[in-house]
Structure 1
Amino acid sequence: MTLHIKKLATSPSRSGRHLQRYNQGFRQVVGCVPYRIKAEKSAEIDEISIEDLEVLLISSQKSSRMMFPKGGWELDEDIGLAASRETLEEAGVVGLLGDKLGEWIFKSRSQEKQHEASMFSLLVKEELEVWPEKDVRHRVWMTIDEARELCSHLWMKEALEAFVRQFANGQTIKEESLASCGFDELRLSIGEPSSDEEDCYLVR
């Protein structure tokens, strides 16, 4: 599994739309709210409060605006695998995927296309030094409150609030290993890093 992750980390991001999923005309995208427990906390996860967490935001490829990792869900992968892959490609982290946080509809101002987004929580277990979009993005760990202020997209802020509610209600990560998330089944196409759908607003 380590070799597969290393290969993914040094491969280009998937590009192109020939495998892209659509639902009633909406392009389907998936992403994660990556989080970790602050270094000074050593208690079990069920004893951790929301104040003890940090979340990871990344910059857009085209600007300094901050967001959570997300991208297209493709036909040859299930939804959890797609969310994990996009998070690795854009943010360079791998971890344990949690429950779905919800679904959102948003529209790209730059392309006038509507998208249906599904977001998950992801407990980060490893932060890679090399990943496909390292040269075009910056990643920043921050508190929940900082993320509420700095995240550029309304629908992603709503996903963050869904994560906060999920965590507060005692819903934690699924008991799954990285292997069961499907990293050893990923097959990345060779191509240029995909562009952001960065100018977005909530339409539902």
Structure 2
Amino acid sequence: MVKEKPNSTRIYDKDGYRRRAACICVRSEAEAEVLLVTSSRRPELWIVPGGGVEPDEESSLTATREVLEEAGVIGKLGRCLGIFENSEHMHRTEVYVMVVTQELDEWEDSKTIGRKRQWFSIEEALTQLALHKPTQRHYLQQLRNSKNNSSPTANCIHVVTDDPAEDELLERDADETGASNEEENRTTSPSPPEEEENTTPADKDDDDDPATDAAS
């Protein structure tokens, strides 16, 4: 089932990439555990909470809004891990770190689509993401690499997540953890043609590619 947000709008940058934002929610400053949520399309699989940037919305606000809607958590927004580019599906996701300070008993997506959340160690999260969203593993790798970096959020680095050599390494690692049997769960459908205008109506379900949403 795809959850729709009737008034949402897809925003594109000057290069035609869809703008997204997400949060790596950590349990403490130690950054040893991260919070994942279930995919709305495949509730047995886990993903990083995030979604599309709305008109006149800062990406940092998008990130905090999405984690409240999808994971039901509030916290302190920290550093930007980078802008992660996926050329296959034509989107760029600005990813932040958030230290969670409050976990709500009920939240929007838990009530409307039964979305769940769960804490994982970094290694466990890497394994879970390999089953459905291997490109999101780059977020956690950058979390580790930048842990001692206190750069301001304005200094987001640009990370291309669909580099063939890197993808080969991720897939090999996924095979070693037993994730190869779930390879068919990866989204491989091409992205639909972009509109000439820089905004188009969108589904709420930003954890999955637009092409697969349309087919649902």
Bin for the TM-score computed over the shorter chain: 0.5 to 0.7
Higher RCO, 1 vs 2 (CA within 8 Å, ≥6 residues apart): 1
Q: Which amino acid aligns with 1:139?
A: R
Match of residue 104, structure 2, among 128, 137, 143: 128
Aligned-residue offset at 1:197: 4.3
**Runs of 5+ unmatched residues, structure 2:** 154-202, 211-216
CA distance in 2, matches of 1:105, 1:56: 22
CA distance in 2, matches of 1:94, 1:107: 31
- 1:65-90 residue CA offsets vs partner (Å, 9 max, x unmatched): 21110101112321111110011111
Aligned residue number for residue 58 of structure 1: 37
- Is contact 1:34-1:124 (8 Å) kept? yes
Structure 2 matches for 1:105-184, cutoff 5 A? 105-106=85-86, 113-135=89-111, 136=113, 137-151=115-129, 152-167=132-147, 169=148, 171=150
CA distance in 2, matches of 1:147, 1:159: 11
Q: Which amino acid aligns with 1:132?
A: E
**Runs of 5+ unmatched residues, structure 1:** 1-11, 38-44, 175-192
% identical equivalent positions: 30
CA distance in 1, matches of 2:146, 2:77: 13
Aligned-residue offset at 1:162: 0.7
Match of residue 195, structure 1, among 194, 200, 205: 205
Aligned residue number for residue 21 of structure 1: 11
- Count of equivalent residues: 154
Aligned-residue CA RMSD (Å): 2.8
- Is contact 1:96-1:173 (8 Å) kept? no
Aligned-residue offset at 1:106: 2.3
Aligned-residue offset at 1:196: 3.8
CA distance in 2, matches of 1:154, 1:89: 23
Aligned residue number for residue 27 of structure 2: 36
Residues 70 and 120 of structure 1, relative CA distance in 2, 3 Å threshold: same
Which 4+ runs in 1 deviate beyond 3 A? 12-18, 170-174
Aligned-residue offset at 1:157: 0.4
Q: TM-score, normalised by structure 2?
A: 0.63
